[in-house]
Structure 1
């Protein structure tokens, strides 16, 4: 794999440690998912996150919980109402979702995937806790690789193509320029077209310039970019642009969800400001 591709992807992993600690703090993850680095970064950023919450009503952890629980809700619906029995979570990081859903649904096949170093760490974590088995597995993948055993095509080839599937990416999309991420979405839509039913769940932060805290949002975006040694571009301006973008990549049905509007049903407090994060449910 070319060095440029590896460098373009590798900056994502540090944020996985921070979010892993957030999931644990909010009782969504077992203590095994906490890393010393995640705990350290959370403590280091606490004055910043407190100031953003107190001064501007921007609660970073609330945004993370909104997207995580909204994706959980859509996945639950797919399993319980549409009979989905296989799930792929790409860029799984230290997400506890695979552990929680495999415990809740014994018939579920759950495949987690991430860059090689993070995948190895996740595999060791799950294996060490006795959670890894034939129906819950971890593989290496690089979403920018167009061929080879770490490509998206190779990952999808390991699934049962006679059964419906749900593919999830969380905390991934906004680390890449739109051209690169739309390339991934196009390859994903092509791969998912081989299944009888396929759903893609992801989240993104659109460029909501009309939001009352847009200036503070841009400052936060720049901070995230520095912390993760990369950029954090905001894609699309509104719901219509999101739908058009996903359809251009090959998804026929696109639903844009605002988790802040569903806070009550997600078990979260009512949002003080309009939401910043959107969860996308796209089907081929």
Structure 2
């Protein structure tokens, strides 16, 4: 089996249902985003996630909430102080972010994208609720495609090249081996360079072996990989390594954000966080 076949991101969709239900449970989305499968998966996994929290100290639900809220906060700042009026959320799954932010900011254009099956489901959901319009759209994309109608180039062709753009991927990048991931980032940076300013928000779980409970966390993260029917890689050993990788892929400015070091009020976890949110930029617009 080729590396590309092994990295087919179709296996991520079950976790999209689970996280979609988590957002709904915590009043971050409307009922339409909560699927029956997501409710079933959450109920089924509750004893397991409780055990992981008690034995490994890994609070999966609060970590999901931390990353979602921290990305939301950075997006809010980009819109309110950075002049961003067009957003692309890749691997959107059942994220409610596009709906919430289009409601909040009438000037915003929001383009969601995912693999064809998930994109079709999201498109139908938004259309049936009357939320799909010229400002809020859904398109097919394959982040591994280097050309063609599902490539990043085709996706970004719909945007206004005279305006800043911000791209989000949430719950995506740790599913991919490093070479494929950095290939995606390089193609993304190339597309963003065509705009006055291109910004990218994502999250990573780096391989922090000095973490006081690394062995337990490693066990919990391996379990996540098995539950989502694919690998779950921990990339990079330090903040400096993360920044160097993004610079190497073509981003000019990189900030690596530790949830433990921000003033934003986030759901608590019982140990130092392994989560890192990355905000990277191309272009020169202030």
Bucket of the pairwise TM-score, normalised by the shorter protein: over 0.9
Within-5 A mapping of 1:139-154: 139-154=139-154
Q: Equivalent residue for 1:268? A: 266
* Residue aligning to 1:218: 218
Q: TM-score, normalised by structure 1?
A: 0.95
C-alpha distance in 2 between matches for 1:81 and 1:74: 10
Distance 1:215 1:7, change over 3 A: closer
Task: Compute the displacement of 1:37 (Å).
Answer: 1.0
- 1:193-235 per-residue CA deviation (whole Å, 9 max, x = no partner) reads 0000110000010001111221122212221222222100100
Deviations 1:152-186 (A, max 9, x none): 11101110000000000000000000100000000
Deviation for aligned residue 1:4:
5.1
Alpha-carbon distance in structure 2 between the residues aligned to 1:110 and 1:126? 12
Q: Aligned-pair RMSD on alpha carbons? A: 1.6
Alpha-carbon distance between aligned partners in 1 of 2:3 and 2:245, rounded to the nearest angstrom: 29
Kindly indicate whether the alpha-carbon contact (under 8 Å) linking 1:173 and 1:181 is maintained by their aligned counterparts in 2.
Answer: yes
TM value normalised by structure 2: 0.95
Paired position in structure 2 for 1:253:
253
Change (3 A) 1:76 1:245: same
For residue 8 of structure 1, report the CA deviation from its aligned partner.
1.4
Contact 2:206 2:275 in 1 (8 A): yes
Deviation at 1:270, TM superposition (A): 4.3
Q: Please identify, of 232-241 and 220-229, the stretch whose mean Cα deviation from structure 2 is larger.
A: 220-229
Conservation of the 8 A alpha-carbon contact between 1:5 and 1:144: no
How many residues are treated as equivalent by the alignment?
A: 281
**Deviation per CA, 1:100-119, whole angstroms, max 9, x where unpaired?**
00000011000000000000
8 Å contact from structure 1 (residues 177, 233) kept in 2? yes
Q: CA deviation at 1:7?
A: 6.5
Are residues 1:205 and 2:205 paired? yes
Distance 1:106 1:246, change over 3 A: same
| 8 Å CA contact 1:91, 1:169 repeated in 2 | yes
Tell me, yes or no, if the aligned pair for 1:261 and 1:275 is still in contact at 8 Å. no
SS in structure 2 of the partner of residue 11 of structure 1:
helix
8 Å Cα contact 1:89-1:167 kept in structure 2: yes
* Deviation string, structure 1 residues 26-47 (Cα, Å, up to 9, x no partner): 1101011011111111111111
What's the counterpart of residue 117 of structure 1?
117
| Aligned-partner Cα distance in 2 for 1:220–1:271 | 14
Following the alignment from structure 1 to structure 2, what is the Cα–Cα distance between the partners of residues 251 and 193? 9
User: 1:56 Cα deviation (Å)?
Assistant: 3.7
Q: Which runs of 4+ in 1 moved over 3 A?
A: 2-7
Residue number in structure 1 paired with 2:91: 91
Distance across 2 between alignment mates of 1:276 and 1:14: 23
Q: Within 5 A, what are the aligned runs for 1:18-29?
A: 18-29=18-29
Which blocks of at least 5 consecutive residues in structure 2 are unaligned? none
